[in-house]
Amino acid sequence: GAVVSQHPSWVICKSGTSVKIECRSLDFQATTMFWYRQFPKQSLMLMATSNEGSKATYEQGVEKDKFLINHASLTLSTLTVTSAHPEDSSFYICSAGQAYEQYFGPGTRLTVT
Amino acid sequence: QKEVEQDPGPLSVPEGAIVSLNCTYSNSAFQYFMWYRQYSRKGPELLMYTYSSGNKEDGRFTAQVDKSSKYISLFIRDSQPSDSATYLCAMRGTGTASKLTFGTGTRLQVTL
């Protein structure tokens, strides 16, 4: 149980375009999902907390107009990187909370050229 | 000072060794403690989570929490090459939406 999937697993896009990443909880309902980014050999940095049916809460320094988060249902949250630039290239990981445990998706590697 | 301190390693041990991974923290509001294993270019996988001070064992893994010292450990017995990964400690306060605070991760290499 407690499986979280992400799609796509890897995406390359051109600078200036937008990319949408999906995060799904496959076998449980997740009222809260979290989005992280991770640079090589660094730990996970929380970007935002996504609650079903309400606006996401962004961490300090994260541009909410650039990283659009939508949590439309109890099993799906999406992160859209708008007008992506090379500095947005990173590993994006979502997690879904269940009780006091969070389960992570496999991650999405974004490369902006 | 970071809220969670973790030696980034790398830590290299021979197969069969006992591995000790540690984190210290400064925020006494942290009540739940987790250890995640992350293989390269994969998402973290939950290994252990504990609440109380003391030991919790699961197979070859033992998680230890000392809240009085603000110190947590993960022990891996009979280490295998497949244990080679980055191990992240994480902790949180109470509340189902309380966010996780991660250590930087320790990279472990188990050699044949």
Pair B65, B52: CB distance under 8 Å: yes
| Cβ contact A104–B100 (<8 Å) | no
Q: Write down the pLDDT at residue A64.
A: 93
Rounded CA separation B30/A42 (Å): 22
Confidence grade of residue A1 (pLDDT, cut at 50, 70, 90): low
Three state DSSP letters for A32-99: EEEEEEECCCCCCEEEEEEECCCCCEECCCCCCCCEEEEEEECCEEEEEECCCCHHHCEEEEEEEEEC
CA distance B77 to chain A (A): 24
Q: Write down the pLDDT at residue A47.
A: 95
Confidence grade of residue A55 (pLDDT, cut at 50, 70, 90): confident
Q: Strand B11-14 to strand B106-111: parallel, antiparallel, or no bridges (unpaired)?
A: parallel
The stretch B7-35 carries a mean pLDDT of 94
Confidence grade of residue A97 (pLDDT, cut at 50, 70, 90): confident
Q: Write down the pLDDT at residue B88.
A: 95
Whether A13 and chain B come into contact, CB under 8 Å, resolves to no
List the single residue in A49, A95, A100 with the smallest CB-CB distance to B32: A100
Q: Is the pLDDT assigned to residue A42 strictly greater than 90?
A: no
- For B61-111, what is each residue's pLDDT tens digit? 999 999 999 999 999 999 999 999 999 999 988 876 678 899 999 999 999
| Cβ contact A102–B43 (<8 Å) | no
Q: Write down the pLDDT at residue A40.
A: 82
Q: Write down the pLDDT at residue B39.
A: 93
Q: Find, in chain B, the residue whose alpha carbon is nearest to that of A101.
A: B49
Q: Is the pLDDT assigned to residue A41 strictly greater than 80?
A: no
Kindly report the average pLDDT of chain A as a whole number.
91
Rounded CA separation B41/A22 (Å): 17
Q: Residue for token digits 């309902």?
A: A29
Residues contacting residue B101 through CB under 8 Å, at least 6 positions apart: B3, B4, B25, B27, B30, B90, B91, B92
Residues contacting residue A18 through CB under 8 Å, at least 6 positions apart: A80, A81, A82, A83, A84
Rounded CA separation A97/A39 (Å): 23
> In percent, how much of chain A has pLDDT > 70?
96
Mutation to test the A interface, candidates B2, B30, B38, most A Cβ within 10 Å: B38
Whether A46 and chain B come into contact, CB under 8 Å, resolves to yes
Angle B95-B97-B101 (CA atoms, 0-180°, nearest 5)? 95
Q: Find, in chain A, the residue whose alpha carbon is nearest to that of B46.
A: A103
Which chain B residues have a beta carbon less than 8 Å from that of A42? 104
CA distance B62 to chain A (A): 18
Rounded CA separation B77/B83 (Å): 10
Confidence grade of residue B21 (pLDDT, cut at 50, 70, 90): very high
Q: Is the pLDDT assigned to residue A37 strictly greater than 90?
A: yes
| Cβ contact B96–A100 (<8 Å) | yes
Please choose, from the candidates A89, A67, A66, A62, the residue with its C-alpha nearest in 3D space to the C-alpha of residue A78. Answer: A67
Provide residues of B within 8 Å CB-CB of chain A.
Answer: 8, 32, 34, 36, 41-46, 49, 51, 88, 92, 96-97, 99-100, 102-105, 107
CA distance A73 to chain B (A): 17
Q: Is the pLDDT assigned to residue B22 strictly greater than 70?
A: yes
Q: Write down the pLDDT at residue A72.
A: 82
Q: Is the pLDDT assigned to residue A33 strictly greater than 70?
A: yes
Highest mean pLDDT among A46-50, A53-57, B80-84, B95-99: B80-84
